[in-house]
Chains A and B, each alone.
Chain A
Amino acid sequence: MTILARLTEKSWEPGPQPVERDRPSAGAVGMVAYFGVAMVMFSLLLAAYLMRMGLHAGTEHVHDWKPMPDPPLLWINTLVLAASSVAWEVARRERAVRAAIVGSALGVLFLGGQLLLWRHYQGAGYTLSSNPANAFFYLLTALHGLHIIGGLFAAGRALAAANMRNVALCALYWHFLLIVWLVLAALLLST
């Protein structure tokens, strides 16, 4: 039944016999709902980023927005996260615990890379409070990193319990974080 048909049901009329239906697992539904939450959060930050960046176009303020450089590490980290996502996809399709472990390890590597990136920027004088572009960068990467940490935690639990259904959920979650990261990286690179 389409969602429209369900929402126009005249439920006071006698309906069909109640039957047992298949339904997605609670975990899957809950996770998709969470994607909604995270998506709104990151989208709002992106909107805030663009608004804050373009703020002075209209007024006669002097530009205070200084874009950050794009070191190679940014690309490397992106590749690491993509590889991690591939490993998780293998784990999901092949029900392979090994691949899931590789995926998690690459996730840890990505976090390490992000930390290095922070150090790199800090060393070059791009500190949190020196420019709004930097502040947004640190804020966005920190929130994204927290999501990765959460994912690693969940992955650890799923693997410890050898629960392949949850491993599959972890893989989906990982793809989601990859997409978020790609959008963030594209924004950081293009501005």
Chain B
Amino acid sequence: MPVAVAIAMLVVGSVAFHLFSPWWRTPIASNWGSIDSALDVTLWICGAAFVGLNLFLAWALVKYRHRPGHRAHYEPENPSLERRLTFWTAIGIAGMLAPGLAAWGKYVSVPKEATVIEAVGQQWQWSFRYPGPDGVLGAAGVKYITPDNGLGLDPLDPFGRDDILVESGDLHLPVGKPVKIVLRSKDVLHDFYVPEFRAKMDLVPGIVTYFWLTPTKTGTFDILCAELCGTGHHAMRGKVVVETPQAFAQWQAQQSSFGQILAEAPPAAMSILLIKANACIVPASWSIR
């Protein structure tokens, strides 16, 4: 008996907790409302199942508790009942899968007009790269990395010269413009995660991964790392500043390009850089437009 009461109380308590808990999604700041609504649909269907099944459990525990003289009903199976239950479960499952898959369909198709911006992860910090006026990110790879070329751009690739590098600063994004964020890691796995954007994706050394979003709200948000990457995982933070296109253009104009950095580099550093570029090892190198 007490266990039936406890189950019923836990159901009521869980619902109350859900309604009154101060912890829920952060206010959304991107176009991924479709993910939120897929979550809501899933929550409604699952919540109904949770409440219904557990209240049935509590009721059955009371109703069919052992009493002297009482005997259970013998009934090996009831195929038509089971068939009906299966059918309605399948409907419920399909009901939540459909919005889930639809949102995923959008998540995996990057709009053509999206600008490409690169986020580079390393233990334990974020850096960023913008394609510059030509709109193309130059080739880059771990093998090109030198102290003066921390992001490993190919110094011989002309597309890379105008790329804008942000090595220890914030990521800036113009509000309302779709961006494709391409992700590259210098060492281990990381994951680019901004809770307010809903989107996230792993960084995998050796390959380039991506996702896309359109920021819909100006403001400053935390970038977290969501893939265990070692001792400093919890401290691998960055900031993303979403601002108006004007403010974004202004900010971008103040950043220095790879070409400017090369021009300022001492000749000795320059030669190391070029030696690396010509070395015949064969590691990852890529370019993307």
Interface residues of A (CB under 8 A from B): 10, 12, 59-64
Alpha-carbon distance A60/B282, docked complex (angstroms):
11
Contact present for A10 and B286 (CB under 8 Å): no
Contact partners of A61 in chain B: CB under 8 A: 206, 282-286
Provide the bound-state CA to CA distance between A62 and B285, in Å. 8
A60 touches B286 (CB 8 A): yes
Whether A59 and B286, one on each chain, are in contact in the complex, defined by CB atoms closer than 8 angstroms, is yes
Assess A59 versus B208: contact at CB under 8 Å? Given A10-B76, A12-B76.
yes
Chain A residues with Cβ below 8 Å from B76 are 10, 12
For B207, what are the chain A residues with a Cβ–Cβ distance below 8 Å? 59
Cβ of A63: which chain B residues have Cβ within 8 Å of it? 282
Cα of A4 to Cα of B287 in the assembled complex, Å? 56
- Please give 14 more A-B residue pairs, beta carbons under 8 A apart, in addition to A12-B76, A61-B206, A64-B282: A10-B76, A59-B207, A59-B208, A59-B284, A60-B285, A60-B286, A60-B287, A61-B282, A61-B283, A61-B285, A61-B286, A62-B282, A62-B283, A62-B285
List the A residue with the shortest CB-CB distance to B281.
Answer: A62
Interface residues of chain B, those whose CB is within 8 Å of chain A, are 76, 206-208, 282-287
Chain A residues near B208: list those with CB within 8 A.
59
- How far in angstroms is the closest Cβ of chain A from B107? 20
Interchain Cβ contacts under 8 Å between A and B, 12 examples: A10-B76, A12-B76, A59-B207, A59-B208, A59-B284, A60-B285, A61-B282, A61-B283, A61-B284, A61-B286, A62-B283, A62-B285
Query: Can you list the 3 inter-chain pairs with the closest CB atoms, starting with the nearest?
Result: A62-B282, A12-B76, A60-B286
How many angstroms from the CA of A63 to the CA of B283 in the assembled complex? 9
Contacts of A12 in B (CB 8 A): 76
Residues of A within 8 A of B285 (CB): 60-62
Chain B residues lying within 8 Å of A60, measured Cβ to Cβ, are 285-287
A12–B77 alpha-carbon span in the complex (Å)? 10
A62 partner residues in chain B, CB cutoff 8 A:
282-283, 285
Across the interface, name the chain B residue whose C-beta is closest to A60: B286
- Give, as a whole number of angstroms, the nearest-CB distance from B140 to chain A: 11
Within the complex, the shortest CB–CB distance from A86 to chain B, in Å, comes to: 46
For residue A118, give the distance in angstroms from its CB to the closest CB of chain B: 26
Question: Nearest chain A CB to B14's CB is how many angstroms away?
Answer: 37
By beta carbon, the residue of chain A nearest B75 is: A12
| A residues less than 8 Å from B282 (CB atoms) | 61-64
Give the docked Cα–Cα distance between A63 and B284 (Å): 10
Q: Across the interface, name the chain B residue whose C-beta is closest to A13.
A: B76
A24 to chain B, nearest CB (A): 31
**Distance A62 CA – B76 CA, assembled complex (angstroms):** 64
* Complex CA distance for A88 and B203, rounded to whole angstroms: 53
Within the complex, what minimum Cβ distance (angstroms) separates B85 from chain A?
20
A59 to B, closest residue via Cβ: B207
Residues of B within 8 A of A64 (CB): 282
Nearest residue in A to B74 (C-beta to C-beta)? A12
- Cβ contacts under 8 Å, B284 to chain A: 59, 61
Docked CA distance A60–B285 (Å): 7
CA distance A10 to B75 in the complex (A): 12
Min C-beta distance of B139 to chain A, whole Å: 9
- A18 CB to nearest B CB, Å: 20
Which A residue sits closest to B288, measured CB to CB?
A60
How many Å lie between the Cα of A62 and that of B287 in the bound state?
A: 13
- Residues on A with beta carbons closer than 8 Å to the beta carbon of B283: 61-62
In the complex, what distance in Å separates the CA atom of A62 from the CA atom of B208? 14
Task: Across the interface, name the chain A residue whose C-beta is closest to B206.
Answer: A61
User: Which chain A residue shows the least CB distance to B280?
Assistant: A62
Residues of chain A within 8 A of B287, CB atoms compared:
60
Q: What's the Cα separation between A62 and B283 when bound, in Å? A: 7
Docked complex Cα distance between A60 and B140 (Å): 11
Bound-state CA distance A12–B78 (Å) is 13
Q: How far is the CB of A185 from chain B (nearest CB, A)?
A: 29
Q: Looking at the assembled complex, report how far the CB atom of A58 sits from the nearest CB atom of chain B, in whole angstroms.
A: 9
Distance in angstroms between the alpha carbons of A168 and B283 in the assembled complex: 52
Question: What's the minimum C-beta distance from B95 to chain A, rounded to whole angstroms?
Answer: 31
- Chain A residue at minimal CB-CB distance from B76: A12
Distance between Cα atoms of A10 and B286 in the complex (Å): 63
Residue from the set A10, A60, A63, A64 with the largest chain B CB neighbour count within 10 Å: A60
| Minimal beta-carbon separation of B76 from chain A (angstroms) | 4
**Smallest CB–CB gap between A97 and chain B, Å?**
54
Query: For the complex, what is the distance from the CA of A64 to the CA of B282, rounded to whole Å?
Result: 7
Task: Kindly list chain A residues whose C-beta atoms are within 8 Å of the C-beta of B286.
Answer: 59-61
